[in-house]
A and B are shown apart, each in its own frame.
Chain A
Amino acid sequence: MVPESYYVALSAVLFSIGVVGVVIRRNPLVIFMSIELMLNAANLALVAFGQRLGNLDGQAVVFFVMAVAAAEVAVGLAIIVSIFRVRRRLSVDDLSIMRW
């Protein structure tokens, strides 16, 4: 039986990798995938905490996170596609129009 702390530690590693991925990449699709990585790391931590505490609420929350992630990916990819349609380029450095 592997202690739950190991799972939480692994989830911290995956989350940090996702954070670094969001910052160092220029392609918005890869940035989106790094965000999925972070969501997954958080889900893993939630399941591990739920097992440790002996209740199922963590797993119910993970279910909702999955549903929200599905909606987020669909809307986000649609936004990226429509930006690409207007600008014909796909780099986050070009998308500074809303900066103050």
Chain B
Amino acid sequence: MAHVAFFAIGAIAVASALGLILRPNAIHGALFLVVNLGSVAALYLMLGAEFLAAAQVIVYAGAIMVLFVFAIMVLIPGKEETGPDPRRGARLVAVPVGALLLLLLAFVIVGRWNAPRGAVVPSGSAAAVGRLLFTSYLFPFELTSVLLLAAMVGVLLLARRRA
């Protein structure tokens, strides 16, 4: 049962990822990416990472994708990719290179397919992750707030209309 669910969700994730990189329209790509992020959130749930599944839906599929869709609407892209590609040959090399990378990764993974398993299965609940974030990872957690503030100020500076 769990295997069936995993393969179904995995197929959705791979298909939506392919849709993202193959569809010419950027807004279709954004919707495919939302599907992909949602299926990864479902995989997090299957792995027992409940907090991350919720954060994935809220932060990625919610906030980040709204930003993407907003930028796509503002910029009205799509015209650039309809014409003939002057570097088509160079770009098509990417496919065998990507296949080679996949082969390399598969080689590494298969080599450790049956690596030793930890003693306990950790709980990924908000309480457990939060306790970890506010004890061992307290300093990086606080740095995150500085990073987000810096990003916010930087975006305001970049997006401001020059007088």
Residues in B neighbouring A14, C-beta threshold 8 A:
13-14, 17, 36
A3 CB to nearest B CB, Å:
8
Q: Which residues of B from 83 to 128 have beta carbons under 8 Å from A?
A: 85-87, 91-92, 94-95, 97-99, 101-102, 105-106, 109, 112-115, 117-122, 124, 128
Which positions in B face A, CB cutoff 8 Å? 2-3, 6, 10, 13-14, 17-18, 20-21, 26, 29-30, 33, 36-37, 40, 43-44, 46-49, 51-52, 55-56, 59-60, 63-64, 67-68, 71-72, 74-75, 77-78, 80-81, 85-87, 91-92, 94-95, 97-99, 101-102, 105-106, 109, 112-115, 117-122, 124, 128-129, 132-133, 136-137, 140-141, 144, 147-148, 150-152, 154-155, 158-159
Tell me the minimal C-beta distance from B37 to chain A in angstroms: 6
| Cα distance A13–B139 in the bound complex, in angstroms | 34
